[in-house]
Structure 1
Amino acid sequence: MEPPVRLINWKLAADAAARLGSAGPKLNTADREDVVADLRRHADASVAHVHRITGLEAARDLRDSQVLIVDRASWARANTHSFEALLDPALRRLGEKKGSRLSEPTVALSGVLTGAEMGAVLAFLSSKVLGQYDPFSGLLRPAASGGGRLMLVAPNIVEVERELGVEPADFRLWVCLHEQTHRVQFAAAPWLRDHLRDQISRLAEGLVETTDGLGERLMDVAREALGTRDAAGEERTSRSGDGRRQEGSPGLLAVLKDPGDQAVLSHLTAVMSLLEGHANVVMDAVDASIVPTVRTIRQRFNRRGENRSALEKWVRRLLGLDAKMRQYADGQKFVQRVVDRVGMERFNVIWERPEHLPTERELHHPDEWIGRMGLAPAPAR
């Protein structure tokens, strides 16, 4: 098999992210150990709550994946591995089609430039992400890695809980509820990882016809698919009549001309919105009996996004992160509407097969998805 064209220097990306990023709050050894142990306890405890709220039996057994408590540099390094796994098929395709026409100096220069760019992006994100379930971690080395992995970024969680002035134990459990929900989603739909990877590969291969800006475009594809939860609050946006966004960066839509590629991007947008929206609904289902200060956490966390610096707002706009948060808010509206109408048990048919996933239009018109699934309203209680 033709080796992939090395248009992205993955090691450089990981090294640059570690070099450019800050370490986060200063903690002594004993405090670091306490934080790690506490996050692990809350990660374990949150699974039972996710099971009770979602009713998904997959929450009973999550042994196919790992829970890792990581620092910022480790999170960035792990994501370079996942990006590499996701983009490998597209780069192999490029090697088959154009490898002989790409000179070694061109490939080497592209690898350096794109690796440095990816490193800068990951350095920024590594200080914002609270947690991430990565279903693609085992793709490069399945025998060694097993299934996916849940990463909790300890310094960011500590930094945000201090900034908000909230109870650490409550905030950590609240964050873990969201991230463990993602882990349960992929356990409940074991076909979902391969389905997403196939869609991402199709989208990435649609961009290999030109090498101009290829690395940046491929990175956009992977970033779209690796939806990570940062420390932003929920935001809203206006929409046109067909439900498409009217605000935010056009992103990949600006370069995707083929209708088939646009359809794949639309599908990925809907799926990622569903996954984040579902996790938000689970978070919002907890009450003071589970997280005593949950109301305070929600209020302060949602207000936090209003107080960013001008520089951070610019970077977030450049990366399309605010548009992503609005997208996820729409996913939450979809899930909540369906659950309110038919109940969580009937909603869970969404995890049974790819055909049950909502389209982007259905995401904004949930009653159409309910009708397509033939779901009757839940009986009154």
Structure 2
Amino acid sequence: MQVIDWDLAVATGVRLVRPGPQVSREEARQAVAELRRLSRDAEEHVRDFTRIDSAPPEPATIVDRPGWIRANVDGFRTVLEPLTQRMSTTMPAIISTVGSRITGIEVGAVLAFLASRVLGQYELFLPPDPSGATPVGRLTLVAPNIVHAERELGVNPRDFRLWVCLHEETHRVQFTGVPWLREYVRSQVTEFLLASEMSLTTLLERLRAASDAVAGAFRGGDVNLLEAIQTPEQKAVLDRVTAVMTLVEGHGDYVMDAVGPSVIPSVAEIRAKFQRRREGGSWMDQLIRRLLGIELKMKQYAEGSRFVRTVVEEAGMDAFNRVWTSPETLPNREEIANPRAWMERVLGGGSAS
């Protein structure tokens, strides 16, 4: 019994997603080849700067918008499996049958919205390969979105592509160079999902909370759908997930800008224009971003980058890398906002390296 109709999610997303920018076949071929090459170049820059000994890089996977949707449905199926298995045994058949189609359409619509905006990602949750092995992750770049963004911003294509690769390659270095990090994130996500309350009464209450969140977003509020429907038990887990994702996203932003000046001549121009692009958009675009929590993600980039920059400047890169020692050395949400509290707890005040 399916809780989410994944095939319908893919079909809906592919049908709704907007087409990418108009490029010739040769332009597309050149963009794909350059992104693959620059992703390899970025690995050496990131490894040398971060001093994290990561796994040897594999070629980046370059996809179009429908390809990104299909890949993320595979990822969703993998990460949501514990919850869908539980719900399939507790939900009445008629609710599951109807609900799976509704949620399939909803998931597809969300992915269609995101598929025209995501530049790249390091996919943590992949289905097992045919040999039965569990893949560590996959660096994926969305070529049409990168080309669209560089044209919209009016920036140097090679510089922009390398800048994007630096951020995404930092995530690959993090999750392959810190052996426990991927499993920690996976276990926290699973704990968050299984903390859901599955009674019909509770689900109706969550739907009312979601409706309130939508109304609040129209009024300019900051509550997103995820925050609206979580249980008290989930909030504690979400705080831990938010803290670690703020760290890894901020670390990616810090590295891309710190490495940038030595290898990307126009990095200052790119950052300034890209930041304005992040903050812009139509009112409807901003509304959807609030509902989906994308505004929260934007804050994570800034807060996480500020945390990393403060620790590196005051204690040095080697001292900052103590953050990757174990889950206990990760900053919590309060320490993200107050880096010196983390330094006092983990470094004993810290010292320059």
Q: Is this a same-fold pair by TM over 0.5?
A: yes
2:303 aligns with 330
Match of 1:363 among 324, 333, 336: 336
1:303 aligns with 276
Identify if the C-alpha distance between structure 1 residues 212 and 338 changes in structure 2 by more than 3 Å, giving closer, same or farther: farther
Match of 1:291 among 245, 264, 283: 264
What is the CA deviation profile of residues 333-365 of structure 1, one whole-angstrom value per residue up to 9, with x for unaligned ones?
111111112111111121222111111111112
2:287 aligns with 314
Distance 2:225 2:77 in 1: 21
2:217 aligns with none
1:55-70 equivalence runs, <5 A: 55-58=51-54, 61-63=56-58, 67-70=60-63
Distance 2:84 2:195 in 1: 11
Q: Does 1:94 align with 2:67?
A: no
Helix, strand or coil at the partner of 2:261 = coil
The answer as to whether partners of 2:156 and 2:266 remain within 8 angstroms in 1 is yes
Task: Give the residue type in structure 2 aligned to 1:330.
Answer: E
Cα deviation, residue 6, structure 1: 1.4
The answer as to whether partners of 2:224 and 2:290 remain within 8 angstroms in 1 is no
Which aligned segments of 4 or more residues in structure 1 are displaced greater than 4 angstroms?
139-142, 211-215
What is the CA deviation profile of residues 5-52 of structure 1, one whole-angstrom value per residue up to 9, with x for unaligned ones?
511111111111111002201222211111100000100000111012
Distance 2:131 2:299 in 1: 34
1:141-290 equivalence runs, <5 A: 143=132, 146-210=135-199, 248-258=222-232, 260-290=233-263
Task: Give the residue type in structure 2 aligned to 1:189.
Answer: V
Distance 2:313 2:251 in 1: 13
What is the CA deviation profile of residues 172-204 of structure 1, one whole-angstrom value per residue up to 9, with x for unaligned ones?
000000000000000121222221111111111
Helix, strand or coil at the partner of 1:327 = helix
What is the CA deviation profile of residues 118-147 of structure 1, one whole-angstrom value per residue up to 9, with x for unaligned ones?
100000100000000011114586736632
Identify if the C-alpha distance between structure 1 residues 131 and 375 changes in structure 2 by more than 3 Å, giving closer, same or farther: farther
The answer as to whether partners of 2:153 and 2:273 remain within 8 angstroms in 1 is yes
The answer as to whether partners of 1:23 and 1:71 remain within 8 angstroms in 2 is no
The answer as to whether partners of 1:203 and 1:264 remain within 8 angstroms in 2 is yes
Provide the aligned C-alpha RMSD in A: 2.3
Cα deviation, residue 209, structure 1: 1.8
Helix, strand or coil at the partner of 1:143 = coil
Distance 2:270 2:167 in 1: 14
Task: Give the residue type in structure 1 aligned to 2:48.
Answer: R
The answer as to whether partners of 1:76 and 1:122 remain within 8 angstroms in 2 is yes
Q: Does 1:18 align with 2:14?
A: yes
Cα deviation, residue 92, structure 1: 1.7
| Unmatched segments (≥5 aa) in structure 1 | 218-245
The answer as to whether partners of 1:69 and 1:152 remain within 8 angstroms in 2 is yes
Match of 1:116 among 91, 97, 105: 105
| Unmatched segments (≥5 aa) in structure 2 | 207-219
Identify if the C-alpha distance between structure 1 residues 251 and 338 changes in structure 2 by more than 3 Å, giving closer, same or farther: farther
The answer as to whether partners of 1:207 and 1:214 remain within 8 angstroms in 2 is no
Q: Percent identity?
A: 42
Q: Please identify which structure carries the higher helix content.
A: 2
1:231 aligns with none
The answer as to whether partners of 1:273 and 1:331 remain within 8 angstroms in 2 is yes
TM-score of the pair, normalised by structure 2: 0.89
TM-score of the pair, normalised by structure 1: 0.83
Helix, strand or coil at the partner of 2:125 = coil
Task: Give the residue type in structure 2 aligned to 1:201.
Answer: T
Q: Does 1:33 align with 2:33?
A: no
Q: Does 1:54 align with 2:50?
A: yes
Cα deviation, residue 250, structure 1: 4.6
